[in-house]
Homo-oligomer: A and B are copies of this chain.
C-alpha cells in the first residue's frame, strides 16, 4: 500500500537561510560565541553577518551582549530558549522534506 504524501509544513523563514542557520548551528553547541569567531567559522562578510545577527536577535532567537575584550569591542551571542525550540522544530520540519524519519 502506498503512503500518501502529506502536505508540507512551512519552514521557519528565519532559520531557512544559509547564514542564519549556520549561526544558530554554532550557537546551539556552545555557551556563547563572539562576532569574530562566528565570522571566521562561517566565512561570512562582516556586513552580512551583522545583518543576520540582528534578525535573529530581533526575533528573540539569540541574545547579543556588547562587551570588551581588553580594549576592543566584543559582540557576544547566545542562543535563547526560544531559539533552541525554533531550531529543534525547524529540524523536525525539515526531516519531512529530506525524507529522514523522525527518530
Contacts and interface: CB of A to CB of B under 8 A. Distances in A.
B98 A94 contact: yes
Interface residues of A, number: 23
A41 to B, nearest CB: 6
Interface stretch (A8-16, A59-67, A73-81): A8-16
A53 to B, nearest CB: 16
A25 interface: yes
Task: Classify the secondary structure of A's interface with B.
Answer: helix
A97 interface: yes
A75 B16 CA distance: 29
A94 B24 CA distance: 13
Contact of A25 (B18, B22, B28, B98): B98
